[in-house]
Amino acid sequence: MLLREVGYVRPGSVAEALAALAADDGARALAGGQTLVNVMKARAGSPDVLVDLNGIDALKGIELGGDGTLEIGAMTTYSEIVASSEARARPILGEVCAQIADVQVRNRGTIGGNVCTNDPTNHLPPLLAAIGAEFTIQGADGSRTVSAADFFLGVYFTAVGPGELLTSVRIPAGRSDGFAAVTLGVDGTCIASAAASLNGHVRVALGCVDAVPVVLEPAAADADAVRAAVQGASLDPPSDVHASAAYRVHLAEVLAVRAVQQAQGSA
Amino acid sequence: MNVSGEREFAAPRDAVWRVLNDPAAMARTMPGVESFDVHDDTRWTANVKIPLGLGGLRMKVDMEKVDEREPEHAALQIKGNGVGAMLSMTTSFDLAENGSGTLMKWAADVKIAGPVGSMGQRVLQPIVNQQVQHVLAALDREVQSGT
Amino acid sequence: MNISVTINGTTCERDVEPRKLLIHFVRDDLDLTGSHIGCDTGNCGACSMIVNGQLVKSCMMLAVQADEAAIETVEGLSDDDELTKLQQAFKDNHALQCGYCTPGMLMSATALLRANPHPTEDEIRKGLQGNICRCTGYWNIFEAVKAAAE
Amino acid sequence: MSSTTTVTPEKTAEEQATWSGQSVPRKEDRRLLQGQGVFVDDVKRHGMGFVHFVRSPYAHAHIAAIDVSKAEAHPAVYGTLTGEEVAALTDPFFQIASVPGANVKDYALAVGKVRYVGEPIVAVVAETREAARDASELVEVEYEPLDAVTDARHAQDDGVPTIHEDAGGNLMWHGVYEWGDLDAAFNEADRVLTIDELHFHRFNSTPLECDGALVEYNRGTGQWTLYTNNQFPGFAAIMMGPAMRCGLDKLRFVTQDIGGGFGNKITSHPQLVACCLLARKLRRPIQWTEWRTDFHLSMSHGNERWFRETEVAVKNDGTLLGFRTKALDDAGAYLRYEPLGGVIWAQVTPGMYRWQNIRVDFTQVATNKAPVSPNRGYSRMQHLWFTERVIDIVAHELDLDPVEVRKRNYIKAEEMPYTTPNGCVYDSGDYAQMLDIALALIGDVGPRRADAEARGKLIGVGIGSTLDSGTNNFGQSRLINPELQFSGNNEVATVKLDIFGEIVVTLGTTPQGQGHETTAAQVVADILKCSVDDVHVRAGHDSYWNSHAGFSGTYASQFAVTGLSAVKGATEMLRDEIFKLAGAVFGGVPPEALELADGGIRIKDNPEAFLPFMACGAIINANNAGLPEDLGVTLNCRYVYRPPFQVPDVEKKYGNLTLTYAAQVHVAVIEVDPETGYYDIVDYAAVDDCGKRINPQIVEGQVMGATAQALGAAVHEVFEYDEDGNLLTPNFYDYHVPHALDMPPLKTGFVESPSPFTPLGTKGMGEGGGAGIHAVCAAVQDATGAIVTDSHNPYQRVWHLLQERP
């Protein structure tokens, strides 16, 4: 509670938002606020100006392309993704978003905020990395699209630089996906997570074991191959009150196999 | 939390040593330095804003060189005092000639107390590792430009 | 910043600092103290309100973000001499003890029943997942929501 | 699903006709459901200043310097308070402990040294909450950090820093309890089992409302009014008055609604003192709201306890002869209610078992962690967890059925009232019957086990049986410190008939959701033969009402005995006065010729002669001319209930420490995923016996709520510290309490064994939920086949246990 003093602007367009962000290097984009506001309560982070993106319609909504590609606006909430018929083109999206926290958080929290925060315990970074999502970032001098590998740089760090905005997430067509996690209570914070996608080739992304999702491409979808791939990744996750590094490494292996099995089942 | 590692520099040891012992040069390698004061050749103070992505953590950081054996070893005691966080860090580096280059072995023991220390356990280590990588990369640039 | 909100049907204009959380604005500035604060990390749901038809935790929203919004809080559920079917069901099923989480719990249940008038037990649990109760063990709350849905 | 069994004794027609025994809907509910409750943070006063405490980021450090000048200069700041001022204006809080703990100096704010992360150092008061926090960041504190003591097991090692120099070390209290003949027991034993170490973890009930107060100072009368959610004002006053050098009547405690307490709101007196000093210094009301992180960092952690070098003497058939253990209690940084935890457990020394020979060597030490204080099940829960662990470890080692070992050793119904080896008297109960009911609720686990194993999962079944001792004999404090002059217990109620016949009841208690307004009304209505709707029970607590006594408050499972017995006594006094008054009004009709009915009193064989309560109230209060001089009727009756206690024998540590012994038996069924250690509680039964139940729905609510807290503690909740003394679970992210989706199926059953020792046959209850921790531990042991030695079993620990499997 009791935030430090902060400025507030509510732009109506991406251009205005970019201008506001560029105007002050202490400016931060405010999406759903389900993480940022809490960090500000603790006064652990203290932006000088909040650029509230909630008034920008261009950043909201889900489009399903003819080729099955999904274009999801960065300010689209988890609830909107869960409810969206278009989003069912990639069913895992709604399934995972429905597991994030609770109704209130899903009503405010956004896909853009989730990936830009890139807290290692977040659900979407490993999922989007596994299913080959691409991220469109807009800056003063135009926009660019980057892969997950180039997007996630570190805890609370992404390819979205100062004065830039993540505007949308593009998700290719596909169906054979899986997500498995051990959480702190049902629908709770992830202690370890793994997402898998079998569209064309086997791709697994591990959460909670590094600053960014750890993407693996096992030679095959059988349990041994997946285990081997995780073991080959020589993970060095942090220990915390919920899990030792060793336990996280073990969970990563088990969950990777389960995510792949789920992906096979959902094919 | 203990972090350590090795780093090779394509530069002679004295060049690396010079950078590591030049407050101004060090300031350029540290993340989010906003101002920097040199009290004497063993004590410096920096006002930094550690870029935590979600807004940054402001800290006043006092550094003191507690041990020095030119040109191969030095140890620093670093105390950071910021809202909701107390950073204390002892770091040391050893330089060895390695052909035409220099091999640096470094180690740091980082302690963060206060709400941030409590809150951020699961993200602290990745963040520290990441900051260390930034510093080393910057160090590289400094060494190159210094030679 | 000057903002105007319509809360439980009444429009209020106030000048607020951008940093003020919606829950503080409603409790301290509008003197509607029915909505409570049980944590400082957005976990407990005691501050749950319905903003523009959507259930939110008002501790993770700035008051200025509610400018021009229609807000519903526990005070708006019923007038003094009667209880809604949901409130009565809470009473009949002993779904509250200390009553501190109750206003937020009622708002979550209200939002749930609007969207889904006949929820299954699993849907009720999912709908109340964002509201912590430390007294009841939840079961009587589930029963109350079931009863209200009948 | 949640279901209730129908195991209930036959009710007589008489019982059916009473309000008591019925699940009367609560009188409290309407205001709480409409958001019209008044909780402490809802209380506002003109010109009030908001206080924010500057808290220590270090677990252990000298305070070299404090500079508040920048904070004082903040335009919105009204003023500050530092430890130095506190030390000058107050005396250290009275210590319950004998030496060495008695030498600890504890003030409202840190003086000279900080001893845990989160300890308040400076209080800053400003015009707004935000400004107070802003300004607190301008307070400059210079620390000289010291090593932190975070493991009680090493608190007394050589070279470990001393936390309280005044105490000369980290030992706070030590005492040896021994009853029976240990040597004989161990000689008679077929086997002696040894258990190196059992650990009961640190957690608390985390009431959803944190602490708080609004404090006003009346300069003219020198009186403070504290609107606060402190749940034991009697204790707070005893702590605060001497420290503040004022009479207790200068401290008025007022509260209406409290957002949960569970014992955790007993020791807020340091912050209350700071608020009092600020109200006087700054000449304005002071508002204090404790936020969640503050609460987790600093308030009322439950006692963390080790049981080391335990030896258990058993027969091959599982008969328990005795045990020895060394209990080590981690009190945290200050003794706020401690070292009472060092004796409270002795209320339930043998648990529910016929153990006769027991030795407990009890040590309590200080550490650089938040101070511990009472937490639901206070100190008994730790000890009962220990006895239950011993039972299941015995069963495991002797390869016996835990059900059989329990039934063989449970105290039997026909042995009640049963005197324990240390002189406590268990009033009534049939533990074996309770276990049978619980097992019946669960039914045959076979099919579930088969189904789970087919899916590669493991099933574990565990029993947790526990006692909920209620109504303290405060004389037990003398076993901790013979100098103390506390003993017995008391509670007060007043019942009066107002001028228009309104029945008004005031209580001395500070309810936090237990429904006192409702159950008190039920008792009154039964005696006055009226409706509960005719009885107005004042909401909340006000120590200026004359219904306040030394031990008034709501804690330690006692309202159903102390509070309701006081209500019963006062109501019977009022009834007798109504008879006396009516007798006189009717011209000398004897009481036996009169009866109460329909909200009034009448002559039995002449129902026309009817005097409604309204008339009674009007006559005494406003129309009393001509009444007999010696009538002696006021219709305003105050009664103090005093339980029948003696002062315990300090030498032998012998005597009755509590009046009633409610019991609970729980059975948990868990399904474990052996690959991850993750587990779900897939079935659960809780059977309660708290004697006569005034309001069954309220009793069941307490059972279910306490169970949920126990399950949270068993699986997730822990206040864990790193080696530097940082709390790793300072919020509801990392301290995960049960949410709606976490709740297992919950089946409840009950037995009613009225207490022979209480006026209503009731027993205090509400604290028996600890059985859930015992049951989950036993279930984990059953599923993994590994001996469980910790009360906290998160997935990670279960996974490690699985690795230990033979």
Measured between CB atoms, which of C40, C54, C65 is closest to A1? C40
The one-letter amino acid at D432: A
The Cα–Cα gap between B134 and B137 comes to 5
Token pair listed for D181:
């003949």
Domain ranges of chain A: 7-55, 57-171, 177-265
pLDDT given at position D1: 44
Angle between helices D516-528 and D564-585 (to 10 degrees): 30
pLDDT given at position D54: 96
Q: What is the mean pLDDT of chain C?
A: 97
The Cα–Cα gap between B143 and B26 comes to 11
For chain D, where do the domains classified as CATH 3.30.365.10 start and end? 369-476+653-804, 490-641
Angle between helices C139-149 and C85-92 (to 10 degrees): 140
Of the candidates D550, D554, D575, the one whose C-alpha atom is nearest the C-alpha of residue D563 is D554
The Cα–Cα gap between C74 and D610 comes to 45
CATH number of A7-55: 3.30.43.10
Q: For residue D507, is pLDDT > 80? A: yes
CB D437 within 8 A of CB D7: yes
Subunit contact D33:C97, Cβ cutoff 8 A: no
Of the CA atoms within 13 Å of residue C54, those in its CB half-sphere come to: 18
The Cα–Cα gap between A146 and A136 comes to 7
From the CA atom positions of chain D, what is the Rg in Å? 27
Q: For residue D8, is pLDDT > 60? A: no
Of the CA atoms within 13 Å of residue D175, those in its CB half-sphere come to: 25
Query: Measured between alpha carbons, how far is residue A214 from residues A203, A219, D712 in Å?
Result: 10, 16, 32
The Cα–Cα gap between C53 and D600 comes to 52
Of the CA atoms within 13 Å of residue D683, those in its CB half-sphere come to: 17
Q: What is the mean pLDDT of residues B33-52?
A: 82
Q: What is the mean pLDDT of residues D29-52?
A: 97
Helix, strand or coil for residue D542? strand
Q: For residue C135, is pLDDT > 80? A: yes
The alpha carbon of residue A10 is apart from the nearest alpha carbon of chain C, in Å, by 9
Neighboring chains of A (3 or more beta-carbon pairs < 8 A):
B, C, D
Torsion angles phi and psi, residue D793, rounded to 5: -130, 75
* Strand spans (E) along D8-148: 49-55, 61-67, 77-82, 113-114, 120-126, 140-145
pLDDT given at position A26: 86
Q: What is the pLDDT of residues D549-577, one digit of tens each?
A: 888 888 988 999 999 999 999 999 999 99
pLDDT given at position D9: 45
Q: Are strands D49-55 and D120-126 parallel, antiparallel or unpaired?
A: antiparallel
Q: What is the pLDDT of residues D48-84, one digit of tens each?
A: 999 999 999 899 999 999 999 999 999 999 999 999 9
Chain D residues within 8 A of A102 when measuring between CB atoms: 739
Percentage of chain D modeled with pLDDT above 90: 95
pLDDT given at position D5: 42
Q: What is the DSSP string of B30-51?
A: STTEEEEEE-SSSEEEEEEEE-
CB A34 within 8 A of CB C60: yes
Q: For residue D252, is pLDDT > 50? A: yes
Percentage of chain D modeled with pLDDT above 70: 98
Q: What is the mean pLDDT of residues D303-327?
A: 98
Q: For residue D578, is pLDDT > 50? A: yes
pLDDT given at position B3: 81
Cβ neighbours of D6 (radius 10 Å): 7
pLDDT given at position B141: 86
Subunit contact B86:D57, Cβ cutoff 8 A: yes
Cβ neighbours of D651 (radius 10 Å): 8
* List of residues 6+ apart from D533 with CB closer than 8 A: none
Burial pattern D209-223, b for ≥16 Cβ within 10 A else e, equals bbbbbbbbbeeeeeb
Domains and CATH numbers, chain B: 2-146 (3.30.530.20)
Say yes or no: D513 contacts chain C, CB-CB below 8 A: yes
The matching CATH number, chosen from 3.30.1540.10, 2.160.20.10, 3.40.190.10, 3.30.390.50, for A177-265 is 3.30.390.50
CATH number of D40-146+210-258+266-298: 3.90.1170.50
Q: Which residue of B has its CA nearest to A45?
A: B55
- If one compares D748 and B21, the residue with the highest pLDDT of the two is D748
Q: For residue D253, is pLDDT > 50? A: yes
Q: What is the pLDDT of residues D373-427, one digit of tens each?
A: 999 999 999 999 999 999 999 999 999 999 999 999 999 999 999 999 999 999 9
Q: What is the pLDDT of residues D167-202, one digit of tens each?
A: 999 999 999 999 999 999 999 999 999 999 999 999
The alpha carbon of residue A96 is apart from the nearest alpha carbon of chain C, in Å, by 14
The alpha carbon of residue D719 is apart from the nearest alpha carbon of chain A, in Å, by 10
CB C24 within 8 A of CB A72: no
Q: What is the mean pLDDT of residues D697-701?
A: 97
Torsion angles phi and psi, residue A218, rounded to 5: -60, 150
Q: For residue B57, is pLDDT > 90? A: no
CB D367 within 8 A of CB D424: no
The Cα–Cα gap between D774 and D709 comes to 13
Cβ neighbours of C9 (radius 10 Å): 9
Token pair listed for A204:
């697994």
Q: Which residue of A has its CA nearest to D793?
A: A242
Q: Which residue of B has its CA nearest to A160?
A: B53
**What is the total residue count of chain B?**
147
The alpha carbon of residue D294 is apart from the nearest alpha carbon of chain B, in Å, by 10
Torsion angles phi and psi, residue D624, rounded to 5: -105, 5
pLDDT given at position D17: 83
Subunit contact D734:A4, Cβ cutoff 8 A: no
Helix, strand or coil for residue C21? strand
Residues of chain A under the 70 pLDDT cut:
267
CATH number of A57-171: 3.30.465.10
The architecture that CATH gives domain D369-476+653-804 is 2-Layer Sandwich (3.30)
Subunit contact A104:C41, Cβ cutoff 8 A: no
Measured between CB atoms, which of C24, C56, C126 is closest to A104? C56
For chain D, where do the domains classified as CATH 3.90.1170.50 start and end? 40-146+210-258+266-298
Q: What is the pLDDT of residues D610-655, one digit of tens each?
A: 999 999 999 999 999 999 999 999 999 999 999 999 999 999 999 9
Q: What is the mean pLDDT of residues D273-294?
A: 98
Subunit contact A3:C21, Cβ cutoff 8 A: yes
pLDDT given at position D806: 65
Subunit contact C97:D701, Cβ cutoff 8 A: yes
Burial pattern D678-700, b for ≥16 Cβ within 10 A else e, equals bbebbbbbbbbbbbbbbbbbbbb
Of the candidates A197, A204, A187, A184, the one whose C-alpha atom is nearest the C-alpha of residue A253 is A204
Q: H or E stretch including B126? A: helix B121-146
Query: Would residue D302 be called left, alpha or beta, if left means φ above 0 and alpha means ψ between -120 and 50 degrees?
Result: beta
The one-letter amino acid at D62: H
The Cα–Cα gap between D488 and B116 comes to 47
Q: What is the mean pLDDT of chain D?
A: 95
Chain A residues within 8 A of D118 when measuring between CB atoms: none
CATH number of D490-641: 3.30.365.10
Of the CA atoms within 13 Å of residue D316, those in its CB half-sphere come to: 1
Task: Evaluate the CA torsion angle A153, A159, A162, A168 in order and state its sign.
Answer: negative
CB A45 within 8 A of CB A39: yes
Q: For residue D6, is pLDDT > 60? A: no
The architecture that CATH gives domain C85-149 is Orthogonal Bundle (1.10)
Chain D residues within 8 A of B83 when measuring between CB atoms: 137
pLDDT given at position B36: 86
Q: What's the topology of domain C2-76?
A: Ubiquitin-like (UB roll) (3.10.20)
For chain C, where do the domains classified as CATH 1.10.150.120 start and end? 85-149
The alpha carbon of residue B54 is apart from the nearest alpha carbon of chain A, in Å, by 6
Of the candidates D681, D720, D672, D668, the one whose C-alpha atom is nearest the C-alpha of residue D199 is D720
- If one compares D593 and B141, the residue with the highest pLDDT of the two is D593
pLDDT given at position B21: 83
